[in-house]
Amino acid sequence: MTTQYDYDLIVLGGGSGGLAAAFRAAQHGQRVAMLEPGELGGTCVNVGCVPKKAMWLAADLSGRIGLAAAMGFDVPVRPSLDWKELVVHRQAYIANIHASYLKRLDENNVVRVPRRGRLVDAHTVECSDGVRISAAHILIATGAHPQRPDIPGAELGLVSDDFFNLCSAPERVAIVGGGYIAVELAGLLQALGSRVTLLVRGERLLERFDAELTGQLAENLRHQGVQVHFGYRLRELQRDGDAVVALGHDGPADGRFDAVFFATGRRGNSADLGLDAVGVVVGEKGEVEVDEWQTTAVPSVHAVGDIAGKVGLTPVAIAAARKLMDRLFGGQPQAKMDYENVASVVFSHPALGAVGLSEEEACAKHGDVRVYRSNFRPMLQALADGTQRSLFKLVCVGEEERVVGVHLLGEAADEILQGFALAVKMGVTKAQFDDTVAIHPTSAEEVVLMR
């Protein structure tokens, strides 16, 4: 006798991964319910990728106005910004995304339940209003949230979510951390009018990226006016009138700031979901442990996105969700996410993008490694006598010099990388790069001209 459920799929969380799963399952003819008590789109749309990119674009415009002045245009070198007007445009763009999601949910007959849910058993979810619903499969896509460190005065610090509540640029800002969120906030705030100090516990930025490029990035940030301090161990924050004082264990980079942002990691939103009771294993950082098929220790319960603790990128969450739905409902039993050679970009100023292995990773994995690089000033920077430098790098292995890593720091790196990511995925060799005719004059041509 076949067990009857209310739905074929229940999705907990209406972020990028949850939405992608709901849409794909519905396209496969499944009955889908989505539980999301907040705005659709999750971190990416509301307090992540989308509003961040809007602010990055504004910061980029600010820099270009400065370059225009240096080249002879009659514009102010330090243009003023109506921050509130920028926020109006940003939020209008996000509102359009929300409306699009709602329309698509209706078109695909996905039932949206504006409630939080928790698992009662392997097939049943209890909504926060007490109503219980059941499904053959349950997908956890509840995302993650920024963490504050366990230090005295931590409540005086802000997190990345709080950045999007700002109505103006704080005059003096400290950012604690050296990862991608810290680097992005530093560049944004410095370009939009703040004086930024970056307090980094380690000895370099962006430890998951190539060390040579992150070294050049740190130098670029310093040229932009960001104070970068490595080896800083924050001890506590103290209130001093309207300001916040950062005190370290060692002292030299201590300071008084109008705002202090923590960019010290994220934790999965797995609390109070009833996971332990049904046998779903949760890791030290709140992540739901899944196998290569995105399935937990409970066969009917799955997870994608930041909560799954793999690669925390929106396109990865979307791709993993679609593959999972194709496997569960689309007659594709071998469909699963390939986490090798996933391209990613840090929206620093300039952007830093990478796909594949860094030089350090390649040396550890392969014995025969050869590196090609190009360090140059982009044409606009050279014309305006700017100080920003680009650094492009190829990491190759073996006699055939298969390209296993492409690393780009510089103007338009975010746009250039996508095509080269495809090439790396297909196993491109350095000889094939050499045989490709360059597009001149561009920054991108440097990738195929390295010798």
Of the CA atoms within 13 Å of residue 17, those in its CB half-sphere come to 30
Separation of alpha carbons 63 and 147, rounded Å:
31
Active-site annotation holder among 89, 137, 145, 440: 440
How far apart are the C-alpha atoms of 123 and 7, rounded to whole Å? 10
| Cα–Cα distance, 256 to 260 (Å, whole number) | 9
Active site residue 440: yes
In whole angstroms, what is the distance from residue 115 CA to residue 444 CA?
A: 47
159 to 121, 154, 264: CA distances (angstroms) = 35, 10, 9
CA within 13 Å, CB half, 297: 12
Does 441 sit behind a cis peptide bond, omega within 30 degrees of 0 on the bond before it? yes
Active site residues: 440
